[in-house]
Amino acid sequence: MAGLQLLSEYGLRVDGRRPNELRQIRCKMGVFSQPDGSAYLEQGNTKVLAAVYGPHEVRLNRSKTHHDRAYINCQFSMAVFSTSERKRRPRGDRKSQEMDMNLNQIFESAIRTELYPRSRIDIYLEVLQADGSNFSACVNAATLALIDAGIPLKDYVCSCTSTLAPSQGGAPPTPMVDVNHVEETLGGPGLSMSTLPRLDSVVHLELSGTRLHLSHIDPVAEKAATGAADIMAVLDKAVRGHVAQCLHAREVSGQGADA
């Protein structure tokens, strides 16, 4: 797309944000009644649904039971209509399988699996609309769904994707946080980072797209980490609001007397 610049001369991005601004995040927990925990998250125009089933008995493959911890199973799926060009297969292709593995890895480090030996926790993600940072939005939604299911976590798992706008007119290249679809496809690097913000640890780091020079890695990674910390503030507020609402509903229905 000749002429379309990631960062205009006024320092505005394609959708009018500043380089360190996140998109608007809206979320809701407890969307469905059948799964043990569910959540819906919108990061700008990226919309993701997460459902958690568990902890429950391992049914299919007894060989996958761990005697000392829970077995985590994630599935990443994109709806056929989520992208502007219709997708043929919602899941099962190589890219989705890779995402499944990454999600498994992230949540195995974040969930207190030692509390549920010999059991299994299923996390299912469905992307309803893909507008960049799909993976990050999925991780955030899954965190909320896990909290809704009451599964103990070491900390919130927050994820953010950042990129580097090429240098313009002599200015150094600017790292930008929370990429959207246009910025992803324009061909810059995309650094996806999932962290446990309060424990200050990184559970997953992935660089895709073009190369990133060593000297640029630090600023971009820092931007992603800050972005994740900001997202944590939003998620925390949502969780507290949801719990307050549930408590209020219980009180109103007269169940507050239960100890």
Partner 1 sequence: MADILLSEAEKTFILHGVRDNVRNDGRSCSEFRPIELELGLVENANGSARVRLANTDVLVAVKCEIDNPPSNFPDEGKLDFFVDCSANATPQFEGKGGEQLAVELAALMSRAYQTRESFNLSTLSIIKGMKCWKLCIDVLILECGGSLIDAISMGTKAALADTKIPKVSVIGSDEGTLELELADEADGREEPLDWHHAPCLVTLNKLEDSLLVDASAEEEACCAAALIVGVSPNKKITTTSIPGHGSFLADSKIFARALNLAVDVGVKLNTALEAAIKKHQTLKPPPRGFLD
Least separation in angstroms between residue 30's CB and partner 1 is 11
Taking CA atoms, 226 is separated from 53, 159, 160, in Å, by 31, 10, 9
Residues numbered 95 to 154 that lie near partner 1 (CB under 8 A) are: 122, 124, 126, 128-129
For residue 171, give both structure tokens.
């200015």
Residue written as token pair 């985590």: 72
First to last CA, the chain: 62
User: Site for partner 1 (CB under 8 A): which residue of 13, 38, 43, 231?
Assistant: 38
111 DSSP β-pair partners: 153
Residue written as token pair 């999600």: 103
Which residue, 254, 246, 258, 224, is CA-closest to 37?
A: 246
Query: Is position 7 an interface residue for partner 1 (rule: CB under 8 A)?
Result: no
Residues numbered 60 to 89 that lie near partner 1 (CB under 8 A) are: 73, 75, 77, 79-84, 86
User: Site for partner 1 (CB under 8 A): which residue of 37, 42, 46, 235?
Assistant: 42
Largest CA distance in the chain: 67
User: Site for partner 1 (CB under 8 A): which residue of 35, 37, 189, 190?
Assistant: 35
Q: Binding residues for partner 1, per CB under 8 A? A: 26-28, 31-35, 38, 40, 42, 45, 47, 49-51, 53, 73, 75, 77, 79-84, 86, 90-92, 122, 124, 126, 128-129
